[in-house]
Amino acid sequence: MEDRRMMPLCGIDEAGRGPIAGSLVMAGVVLTGSVEGLMDSKKLTEKRREALFDKIRENSRHHIVIFSAKQVDEMGISKCLHQGLKSIQTHLSECDYLFDGNSTFGVDNITTMVKADDKVAEVSAASILAKVTRDREMLEFAEKYPEYGFEKHKGYGTKAHIEALAKYDRCEVHRSTFRIKALDEPTLF
């Protein structure tokens, strides 16, 4: 008979899969204490996410993985997600792993659930750590490259961001492999 101990749950989520600028950030969280008010980071105000960020860090074992825009360009999103999941498993070992979404990106011992970031506290916590980490980085980029307005759109392809790209072209934090139809850029595939 197999002796299977109850393993802690490690919730995993990412922020920055779809933007045209900035990093892809992944977080894994094993809660060690209670944190009130957890939910999908996109449903929280920036102020609430910031307040929860420190509470989560104080009441968890966690690991954050950051892939720069250059790494996303060189490896592709899927390989980054694969490596991020493996890194989280290495740093937060002996857990059951739950990743928000519907793909394990070829990594064993990962369970997926669509909308887990709004249903499971550990995944909500990971969602918040990933989003706050990424948003803080985008605010730093906004100071370095004020012409793009990163503080407003966080690197997503908004109308204002596309207009800034048309005027100033890309900077080093833009993903060069992400094609923008509004600029009539040819696809690479």
Domains of the chain: 9-136 (3.30.420.10)
Q: Count the alpha carbons within 13 Å of 130 in the hemisphere toward its beta carbon.
A: 32
Contacts of 65 (CB under 8 A, 6+ apart): 25, 26, 27, 83, 84, 87, 88
Decide if 119 contacts 113 (C-beta within 8 A): yes
DSSP for residue 101: S
Burial class of 82 by CB neighbour count within 10 A (0 to 12, 13 to 18, 19+): middle
Q: Count the alpha carbons within 13 Å of 6 in the hemisphere toward its beta carbon.
A: 0
What are the pLDDT digits (tens) for 103-132? 999 999 999 999 999 999 999 999 999 999
Angle at 21 between CA 185 and CA 135, to 5 degrees: 155
Helix, strand or coil, per DSSP, at residue 2:
coil
What are the pLDDT digits (tens) for 128-184? 999 999 999 999 999 999 999 999 999 999 999 999 998 999 999 999 988 776 666
Residue 80 identity: C
Model confidence at 37: pLDDT above 90: yes
Which has the closest alpha carbon to 29: 145, 99, 123, 116? 123
Question: Long-range contact list for 146-154, CB < 8 A, 24+ apart?
Answer: 148/21, 150/21, 150/22, 154/19, 154/22
Q: Given this model, what pLDDT does residue 1 score?
A: 39
What are the pLDDT digits (tens) for 61-88? 999 999 999 999 999 999 999 999 999 9
Model confidence at 5: pLDDT above 90: no
Model confidence at 8: pLDDT above 60: yes
Decide if 14 contacts 84 (C-beta within 8 A): yes
pLDDT band at 2 (very low <50, low <70, confident <90, very high): very low
CA pair distance 61, 51, nearest whole angstrom: 18
